[in-house]
A and B are shown apart, each in its own frame.
Chain A
Amino acid sequence: MEELLFGIGISAVAGALATVSGAAEDTESDIGSQGDPNSQVQLAPQMGYIHRIYSKAISGEPPAYGLWCALGAGLAWALMAINYNPVLAIVLGSAIAVFVQGVYATTAYLGRTASLAKFEQPVYIDLIKSVTTVTMAHAFVAIFTCVSMCFLMVNALGHPFPLPLLGLVWGIALGAAGSATGNPFYGKERQYQTQAFGAGVPISASGNIVRYAEAGQRSSLDNGWFTSKMGGPASGVCFGLIVFLELWRTIFFEEFAAGWGAVIAGIVLILIFMIIDRFVETWARKTYGPYNTEESAEEASS
Chain B
Amino acid sequence: MSALGGGSGGGEGINPVGTVVGIVLLLISLGLIYVLSPGMALMALIGVIVGGLLIGFGVHFVPVGGAPAAMGQSPGIATGVTMLAAGAGLAGLFGGAWAAELGFGVALAGGAIGGGLMMAITCLMVNVVYVYAMGIPAASGKVAKDPITGDTFEAYKSQGTEGHGLPFVSYVGGVIGGALGGLGGTLIYLELLSVYEEFLPAALNAPAEQIIPLAVSMAGVFAVGMFLVNAVIAAYNITGTIEGPHDPKFKRFPRAVIGCAVASAVCGLMAILVAVL
Contacts and interface: CB of A to CB of B under 8 A. Distances in A.
Given A170-B94, A281-B127, A242 B118 contact: yes
A197 B126 contact: no
Nearest to B213: A162
Given A40-B67, A285-B156, A263 B117 contact: no
B90 interface: yes
Interface stretch (A85-93, A120-128, A172-180, A210-218): A172-180
A32 B84 CA distance: 20
Classify the interface of chain A: helix, strand, loop or mixed: helix
Interface stretch (B135-143, B242-250, B260-268): B135-143
A200 B72 contact: yes
Nearest to A261: B106
A180 B122 contact: yes
A39 B70 CA distance: 10
B64 to A, nearest CB: 9
A281 B167 contact: yes
B160 to A, nearest CB: 3
A60 B137 contact: no
Which of B95, B162, B163, B175 has most A Cβ within 10 Å?
A: B95
B122 A290 contact: no
Nearest to A234: B129
A29 to B, nearest CB: 11
Interface residues on A, range: 35 or more
Contact of B155 (A173, A175, A230, A291): A291
B90 A277 contact: no
Interface string A15-46: 00000000000000000000111111000000
Interface stretch (A130-138, A139-147, A183-191): A183-191
A30 to B, nearest CB: 11
A60 B156 contact: no
A152 B153 CA distance: 46
Interface string B156-170: 111111111101100
B87 to A, nearest CB: 2
Contact of B126 (A180, A254, A262, A296): A180
Classify the interface of chain B: helix, strand, loop or mixed: helix
A63 interface: yes
B98 A183 contact: no
A163 B40 CA distance: 29
B109 A263 contact: yes
Contact of B216 (A161, A176, A200): A161
A230 to B, nearest CB: 5
A39 B67 contact: yes
Contact of A199 (B79, B114, B121, B136): B136
A175 B69 CA distance: 17
B71 A192 contact: yes
Contacts of A161: 94, 97, 216-217, 220
B133 interface: yes
A188 B129 CA distance: 11
B83 interface: yes
A246 B114 contact: yes
B116 interface: yes
Interface in A192-247: 192, 197-206, 230-231, 234-235, 237-238, 241-242, 245-246
Given A259-B102, A262-B99, A36 B70 contact: yes
25 contacts: A165-B224, A172-B87, A173-B87, A173-B118, A175-B83, A176-B84, A177-B118, A183-B79, A187-B72, A188-B134, A189-B134, A203-B68, A206-B3, A238-B122, A246-B117, A258-B102, A266-B114, A266-B117, A273-B120, A278-B168, A284-B130, A284-B131, A284-B165, A291-B158, A293-B159
Query: What 9 A-B pairs come out closest when comparing CB atoms?
Result: A176-B87, A202-B160, A187-B70, A200-B72, A198-B135, A290-B155, A266-B113, A259-B102, A259-B106
